[in-house]
Amino acid sequence: MPMCSIKVEKIGFKIPIFIIRVTGSLDAYSFPEFEDKIRGILDKDGINLMFDFANLEYISSAGLGAMMGFAKIAREKKGDLVIFNPTPKINSIINILGLSKFIKVFDNEKTALSAFE
């Protein structure tokens, strides 16, 4: 499986939003770096997070659990976390495990941004 790449972009929408583009595999090897990077954003008042999963090929249970934890932290700080562009495979995992009941999932970036209006 390909290594995980995490690219962060801060946009000034109506409120500051961090777009996190995840590529490759989010597994036991890449999870610590992923968690450190996202916690760093949350610690610096990055409370509105959008995860682009268009190029995510695999996500482990630890990665999914972290997403739940990050969503909880963002919401406690009066922000939110959403996912957009999941591949069919990743979308299926999200739905089977019920993650979509707790985190909004959108087909594209434009509709995901509408969640923050």
User: pLDDT, tens digit, for every residue of 25-59?
Assistant: 998 888 889 999 999 999 987 799 999 999 999 99
* Rounded Cα–Cα distance for residues 94 and 110 (Å): 20
Q: Please state, in angstroms and as integers, the Cα–Cα distance from residue 9 to each residue in 27, 61, 78, 95, following that order.
A: 22, 25, 20, 27
Q: Which of helix, strand or coil describes residue 95? A: helix
| pLDDT-based confidence at residue 12 (cuts at 50, 70, 90) | confident
Q: Does domain 21-101 have CATH number 3.30.750.24?
A: yes
Higher pLDDT, 44 or 13: 44
pLDDT in tens, 84-96: 999 999 999 999 9
Going from N- to C-terminal start, the domains of the chain cover 21-101
